[in-house]
Amino acid sequence: MKLTSVLSCSVLSALLAASCVPYPDDQPVPPADVAQNNPTTDAQKTAEQKAKEEAERKKKEQEANSGSQAGNNKPTIPTRPPEPEPPKPEPKPQIPVARSVPGKPGFVFSPFNNKIIDVKDYPSGTLVADPTYPAADKKYFRVP
């Protein structure tokens, strides 16, 4: 038992001594934070950022001006192609309205050939086929 206690004490003392030894100096040192070495206020940072932005803007303007001086007056902004126009509906053919014959109620003049047509049985606004034309031509007019 004495031997194990002496042995364990010697191992513990060796570990304790090894833990107190400093690190070797050949390890690389991490770089220091730039902000810690160069303390600047928030106002100075924003002023520096504004100065950088202003310099970039001036540089872009000079590039644009040099391009326009070289005879390139086209805008550099890409344009969208024009959208196709929606198809227009085909206009419906306007159906002519017949003229009534003065002094003869129920009779009208055909708008196509000015012949008198009997429309006594048709109410006003009705679509009527002109009987003087064959059915293949299908000429229609409205009763006044």
Interval 59-111: pLDDT, tens: 888 777 765 555 555 566 777 888 888 888 888 888 999 999 999 999 999 99
In the block, tokens 């805008």 appear at 75
Decide if 136 is inside a domain.
yes
pTM of the full structure: 0.39
Q: How many domains does the chain have?
A: 1
Helices (H), 70-141: none
DSSP letter (8 states) at residue 29: P
Q: Which of 1-15, 23-37, 54-68, 109-123 has the highest mean pLDDT?
A: 109-123
64 in any annotated domain? no
Query: Taking a C-beta distance cutoff of 8 angstroms, is the pair 143, 119 a contact?
Result: yes
pLDDT digits (tens, 9 = 90+) for 29-59: 666 655 555 555 666 667 788 888 888 888 8
- Which region among 14-18, 59-63, 134-138 has the lowest average model confidence (pLDDT)? 14-18
44 inside domain: no
Spatial separation of the C-alpha atoms in residues 34 and 36, rounded to whole Å: 5
Q: Is residue 123 part of a domain?
A: yes
Q: Looking at 19-23, 61-65, 104-108, 113-117, which range is the least confident one?
A: 19-23
> Would 85 be classed as within a structural domain?
no
Which range is least confidently modeled, 67-71, 104-108, 121-125, 133-137? 67-71
**Does residue 49 form part of some domain?**
no
Instruction: Copy the structure tokens of residue 131.
Output: 């009987």
Residue 82, pLDDT score: 83
- Identify whether 113 is part of a domain: yes
**Is 98 in contact with 142 (CB distance < 8 Å)?**
yes
The pLDDT value given to residue 51: 84
Q: Determine the pLDDT at residue 125.
A: 93
pLDDT at 60: 82
Token pair recorded at residue 97: 């309205």
Tell which residue, 29, 53, 140, 50, has the closest CA to residue 92: 140
User: What span, in angstroms and rounded, lies between the C-alpha atoms of 117 and 119?
Assistant: 6
Say yes or no to pLDDT of 121 above 80: yes
Q: Residues 23, 29, 32, CA angle at the centre, nearest 5°?
A: 140
Is 139 a member of any domain?
A: yes
Q: Which H/E stretch holds residue 100?
A: strand 99-100
Could you list the residue range(s) of the whole structural domain that residue 113 is in?
95-144
Q: What is the largest CA-CA distance in the chain?
A: 150
